[in-house]
A and B are shown apart, each in its own frame.
Chain A
Amino acid sequence: MKKDIINLKIPSKPDYISVVRLTSSAIASNLGLNIEEIEDIKVSIAEACINAINKSSEINIQFEIEKDKLTIKVNNVHPLEEDKSNLNKELELGILIIKSLMDEVNFSEEGVEMIKYIEDGNK
């Protein structure tokens, strides 16, 4: 199966993060993931968006759907920000949550890549 790609671009505002959560739930549910896995994806992608907010005017999210995995890329997500006291603490929590809930997490110049593997036979 070739990769199916869904792109989502939202204004960089708190108002639209719930839209991303709902979209992620729908995509993950379509793939036959269970409720806990869907919740993990929803929480992780929201944390990635929170990290990306205020860094540019738009947040780009890309879902790559393959037979055995769902890869989500979010631009402008970085593990460490310049020190902003309380805000920095929250960003750290967000990164910790993403790393704990997703199967694989890679950071690059561009942003973050988060992978959830799809196990066969539970559909």
Chain B
Amino acid sequence: MSLDIDVKFNEDNNSWVVYLKGELDIYTSPELKETLIDALDKKDGNIIINGKNLDYVDSTGLGVLISILKRVREKDNNVYLQNIKPNIRKLFDITKLDKVFIFKE
């Protein structure tokens, strides 16, 4: 049970592309928050979360994404969620966060 985080900056769309593998839960979400804040401190930009290999998210994971969204919006950037699995998308729908984040196929 763990989360692998891989972060790369893409100059073409001014975005940090974040590949997540595993489980974003109460145990692993502080690490993601720290990694993304470090990245944004280095360089402001959009955040693109690639959830192709992300199996699970809980409310603390949602909380991290919300706080990162607030942070990037200060610089008129956004958080994009890509390839999110249906079981995780369901949680965004339930909590109405599907209206707050931008989903991409």
Contact = CB atoms under 8 A, between A and B. Distances in A.
Contacts of A17: 25-27
Interface of B: 1, 23, 25-27, 56, 58-60, 62-63, 66-67, 87, 91, 94-95
Contact of A101 (B1, B56, B58, B94): B94
Given A18-B25, A97-B95, 5 more contacts: A36-B87, A46-B26, A89-B66, A96-B95, A100-B94
Nearest to A49: B26
Interface string A52-82: 0100000000000000000000000000000
Given A17-B26, A17-B27, A18-B23, A90 B63 contact: yes
Nearest to B62: A93
Contacts of A89: 63, 66
A83 interface: no
Interface of A: 14-15, 17-18, 21, 36, 39, 43, 46-47, 50, 53, 86, 89-91, 93-94, 96-97, 100-101
A18 B22 CA distance: 12
A97 to B, nearest CB: 6
Nearest to B64: A90
